[in-house]
Structure 1
Amino acid sequence: MSRKKLSRREFVAATALSSAALITAPYVRGAYAAGKLSMGFWDHWVPGANSASTELVNEWAAKEKVEVQIDYITSQGNKNLVTIAAEAQAKSGHDIFQMPTWWPQANAELLEPVNDIMEPLIKLNGDVNGTVKYLGQADGKWLGVPASVGSQIKGPCSRIDLMKKYANIDVQEMYPAGSPPKADNWTLDTFLKAAEACHKAGFPFGIGLGETSDSVDTAGAIFQSFGAQLVDAKGNLTVKTDAVRQSLDFYKKLLAFLPPDVSAWDDASNNKWLVAGKGAMIMNPPSAWAVAKRDAPQVAEQCWTHGFPAGPKGRFAPYLPFFWSIWSFSKNKEAAKSLLSFLSQPASIEKMVVASGGYDLPAYEKLTTLKVWEEIGPPKGTLYHYPNPYKHQTLSIAASPAPPKVAQQIYFQATLTKMCLRYYQGEGMEKTLAWAEGECEGFMRS
């Protein structure tokens, strides 16, 4: 087993580069007729999930007579992001790299177009959601193939018992397993009243206002439900609008009912909050529920994943996709495209979703009703509405629809949550808006 050491440098922005060597985690098979292919895959947090990807690559490689190497690269410490930056700088590395959310856009000039495989995949699997199109395309070029592995919705995971007892909301009745949602009354006003009731009962909603992804994703969905944008799709500043003001007013009310330390929460904080039995709701993919199954089964059996509350401009939910992208400097692009097509067949996708315990979400509309989400539990059906099978909500990402390279900076600088905190802590509305406008102007210049 060989592993090259990677120097660690704090990752701050999309353009950060590192001269670090590649991280490797070996998996090699030994057929040579059609050349070699290497891939950097995200190291899945779900035990055993990587094995499904390995088995599928193994199956394809045996058939195509290709020597393959898979390096599973962790996202802890941003090692996957630093590795992407290192390979982009060196113009050398893996043939295929599994890139999260913004990174195909950040590296668009260095990626091989995959239109030739995306078009037949969409015909086979159905159209992809708007967030995948927003993040996965540039100037008519597909920058990668949407990967089911790692892709997720960060929607509400509610405690059935606590929501029913203290907020008088039956989340199972509102989002019944096997049936369409009955959630017309599940609005931001209802959500705010439920947050207040659960707070008074001693079980506040666990919603972070920190600077990491979970906090930013929730803020993004709530802002979008008011129609609020800091920068529009054409690159115009749109900070000083009534929609943004309404979003800040809503968050000021909500913050009064959240745990007092939410401004310091990271992406682990809400998971721990739920597993410890402290709260009635968090916004998260099923990772917290999966940990509760192992560590706090009495909590897990009371969890129900469901849709976001609707605002004046609609119902939005944060969707964070991964992409399998091919570097333009790949030495075996033909084999890379063949493998990605194979990994995107319905049977392959279902195998990977099952291996993840239902965590992974395909982007294609025909693959949102797999049996795993109907059957997995406890309680049975807890993830039925997780993949949005009825298109009940618009899947989005915070800071969109701004041009992606501007939106990425808004996202990673946590401009939305910082605005909410500044206003909640007593700064005047117009001063908060002026600060955010200045931040966005800086992002647009850079």
Structure 2
Amino acid sequence: MAGTQLTRRRFMHATAAAAVSAPFVRGAQAAGSLSVGFWDHWVPGANKATEEIVRAWADKEKVAVKMDFITSQGNKNLLTIAAEAQAKSGHDIFALPTWYPQDYAEHLEPVNDVMDVLIQQNGDVNGTVSYLGRTKDRWLAVPATVGSQIKGPCSRIDLMRQHAGIDVQAMYPAGGPPQADAWTLEAFLKAAEACHRGGVPFGIGLGQTSDSVDTAGAIFQSFGAALVDQAGNVTVKSDPVRQALEYYKKLATFLPPDAPAWDDASNNKWLVSGRGALICNPPSAWAVAKRDAPNVAQQCWLHGMPAGPRGRFAPFLPFFWGIWAFSRNKPAAKSLLLALSTHDAVAKMVDVSGGYDLPAWAKLTTLPTWAEAEPPKGVLYHYPNPHHHQTLSIAAAPAPPAVANQIYNQATMTKMVVRYLQGEPLDATLSWAEREVEGFTRG
């Protein structure tokens, strides 16, 4: 309808310095009210940063905004998404976790016009955002800074030096590009063995929750191992998958014996307790250590993943902001998403989250928060991949998202590793996985 469409021409009148684009809202007679469902951040005070950005925009645009911060505890946010999509009623904008733009594509307003402006303003997005946030030539949602994260290694400087002979600060120097050519999967395996022998094993889970799956996905991709290819063909019984499983079985022998039972809290606790030399996680464990175990926090360093035969891949989990197709104020909703994605808004969100939140835009990976974080100074410099030396990925890609989502949520890769680790023959493990994945493709 003409009254609710925001044309590309009107968007392009907005400059990078004035991306809140006030003329659209009033010019399209779109003032009035707007309702937003944000994710309830785990970092104290982080919600306030978002609220202040939205209030400033609302005051300028003369829009009455209602904000709800909805917890992910008990999957309340996911239940709300499902209920609103079914009822075709609720918030105008909703924060959508990683796979949800694809799951609810038919219920979302296209945001190509918003993304055109933001890419021009902030640089391109990484491939994982395109994979999850777009279908063909249609953008389903805008990548959200809040909640997005990379789950790369967080190492103990002292323990890696003492037991593995690796200086992670020299390998990933604060303020400079990585010197990490020797940081390969083989080096990672040798370091895991050395730290295990020293009584401080790597804290990598083999469970069925996100952290375990994300690490497995990145290592599989480092071998070029995909269970389903981009065209939807099942490729479980391929040489790269066999190589990935053989490697993972070796690695798993150096992990904590209860790793198959780990959940997403286990690796955090492992690091904070001082019992391990490395985990794969965003800065949440380091942030908790700053409060509860300062001696551990002072020895932490976040850095890149090891490289495999097919490259260096880091697990990236983006959040998105989507506009429901049933929204009654789409021009205002699009204008707010522009305001939430300016350099200053993103910098504020990153700062208040203590560096945890991560923008997907190429030009926004060198904000001061990451360079200045301490202790130790520079601990987070390499967290946002500022030198773009690794590919940000998600487990089960490049399979069609509907299939990849099932592989991811069913933890097929970590289940394969555990079955093989516990003595099942490799061919039997591959046959089991093939049957599982074939079911996903049919579904």
TM-score (norm 1): 0.92
Which position in structure 2 is the counterpart of 1:87? 84
Q: Partners in 1 of 2:187 and 2:181 — Cα distance?
A: 11
Q: Which residue is 1:139 aligned to?
A: 136
For residue 120 of structure 1, report the CA deviation from its aligned partner: 1.0
Counterpart of 1:63 (choices 37, 49, 60) is: 60
Q: Is 1:102–1:408's contact at 8 Å kept on the other side of the alignment?
A: yes
d(CA) in 1 for partners of 2:78, 2:30:
33
Question: Which amino acid counterpart does residue 80 of structure 1 have in structure 2?
Answer: N
In the alignment, structure 1 segments of 5+ residues that lack a partner are 1-31
Give the structure 2 partner of residue 175 of structure 1: 172
Q: Is the 8 A contact 2:30 2:332 kept in 1?
A: no
Is the partner of 2:118 in helix, strand or coil?
A: helix
Tell me, in whole angstroms, the C-alpha distance in 2 between the residues paired with 1:77 and 1:163: 37
| Structure 1 residues 33 and 414: CA distance shift in structure 2, 3 A | closer
**Which residue of structure 2 aligns with residue 13 of structure 1?**
none
Q: In structure 1, what is the Cα distance between the partners aligned to 2:102 and 2:401?
A: 7
Q: Tell me whether 75-84 or 261-270 shows the greater mean CA deviation.
A: 75-84
Letter in 2 for 1:186: W
Contact 1:33 1:65 in 2 (8 A): no
- Equivalent AA in structure 2 for residue 204 of structure 1: P
User: What's the CA shift string for 1:291-325, capped at 9, x where partnerless?
Assistant: 00000000000000000000000000000001000
Q: Which residue matches 2:391? A: 394
AA paired with 1:109? E
Match of residue 340 from structure 1? 337
Structure 2 unaligned regions, length at least 5:
1-28
User: What amino acid does structure 2 have at the position aligned with 1:245?
Assistant: R
Q: Secondary structure at the match of 1:395?
A: strand
C-alpha contact (below 8 Å) 1:199/1:205 kept by paired residues: yes
1:119-163 residue CA offsets vs partner (Å, 9 max, x unmatched): 011001000000000000013111111111110000000000000
Higher deviation after alignment, 214-223 or 90-99 = 90-99
Matched, 1:312 2:305: no
Aligned partners of 1:398, 1:80: CA distance in 2, in Å? 22
Contact 2:420 2:426 in 1 (8 A): yes
Distance (whole Å) between structure 2 residues aligned to residue 219 and residue 126 of structure 1? 29
SS in 1 for 2:67: strand
Instruction: Tell me how far 1:89 sits from its aligned partner.
Output: 1.2
1:52 deviation in Å? 0.5
Shift of 1:77: 1.5
Checking the alignment, whether the CA contact within 8 Å between 2:30 and 2:329 is kept in structure 1 is no
**Alpha-carbon deviation of 1:180?**
0.4
- Counterpart check, 1:268 vs 2:265: yes
Question: For 1:303, which of 297, 300, 304 is the aligned residue?
Answer: 300
Q: Secondary structure at the match of 1:274?
A: helix
Question: What residue is the counterpart of 2:413 in the other structure?
Answer: 416
SS at match of 2:231: coil
- Note closer, same or farther for the CA distance 1:33–1:88 as it changes in structure 2 (3 Å cut): closer
Q: 2: distance between equivalents of 1:79 and 1:190? A: 42
1:407 corresponding residue in structure 2: 404
Number of corresponding residues: 415
Secondary structure of the structure 1 residue equivalent to 2:307: coil
2:274 is matched with which residue?
Answer: 277
Distance, in Å, in 2 between the alignment partners of 1:90 and 1:278 is: 49
Is the counterpart of residue 184 in structure 1 residue 175 in structure 2? no
Task: State the secondary structure of the residue aligned to 1:267.
Answer: coil
Aligned-residue CA RMSD (Å): 0.9
Q: Does 1:108 align with 2:105?
A: yes
Aligned-pair CA distance for 1:268: 0.3
Superposition misfits of 4+ residues, deviation over 6 angstroms: none
Which residues in structure 2 correspond to 1:13-28 (within 5 Å)?
none
Task: Read off the aligned partner of 1:60 and give its amino acid letter.
Answer: W
| CA distance in 2: counterparts of 1:33 and 1:245, whole angstroms | 56
What is the match of residue 190 of structure 2? 193
C-alpha contact 1:206 1:274 (8 A) present in aligned 2: yes
CA distance in 1, matches of 2:185, 2:93: 42
Match of 1:129 in 2: 126
- Contact 1:155–1:284 (CA<8 Å) still a contact in 2? yes
In structure 2, what residue type is equivalent to 1:297?
A: P
1:160 aligns with 2:185: no
Matched with 2:48 is 51
Q: Paired residue for 1:369?
A: 366
Task: Select 1:384's aligned residue among 368, 381, 386.
Answer: 381
Cα distance per residue 1:26-50 (max 9 Å; x no partner): xxxxxx9921101110111111111
Q: Distance in 1 between matches of 2:170 and 2:291?
A: 26
What are the Cα deviations for residues 245-267 of structure 1, in whole angstroms up to 9, with x where unaligned? 00100111011100000100000
